[in-house]
A = this chain, B = another copy of it.
Amino acid sequence: MLGKARLLKVYMGESERYKNKPLYQYLVHWFKEKGIGGVTVSRGIEGYGQDKILHTARFLELSSDLPMILEVIDVPEKIDPLIPEVCSIVPKGLVFTADIQVYKHGKE
């Protein structure tokens, strides 16, 4: 997938679930099964989304629901057809893409 590629970013809450799994874990496996080249998950320490509710790691609470960020990378022909289904799996989060230029992917 060297050359022009697509970065897909998906933001969701850590506590969101899908089919009895944390949503972010479900998505990582889902992208892997679809043969997508690479996925990286990060946990934010604070944030808010469309509902304007601030989630933060500053207060120790059981349900802190911190932001989880997925970075998904592959060629546009593999990323773009998956976007509608990603949007329906992620009920409240943010989904966006950016155009990137890939110079190296594993041992390719």
Residues of chain A from 54 to 78 with CB closer than 8 A to chain B in the complex:
54, 58, 67, 69, 73
A: contact size bracket: 35 or more
This chain: copies in complex: 3
Q: Are B52 and A32 in contact (CB under 8 A)?
A: yes
Q: Are A41 and B49 in contact (CB under 8 A)?
A: no
Query: Contacts A94-B102, A100-B97, A101-B97 given: A11-B28 contact, CB under 8 Å?
Result: no
Q: Are B106 and A51 in contact (CB under 8 A)?
A: yes
Cβ-based interface call for A39 (8 A): yes
A-B pairs, top 9 by smallest CB distance, nearest first, are A50-B106, A40-B47, A95-B104, A41-B46, A87-B104, A95-B103, A96-B100, A96-B102, A40-B44
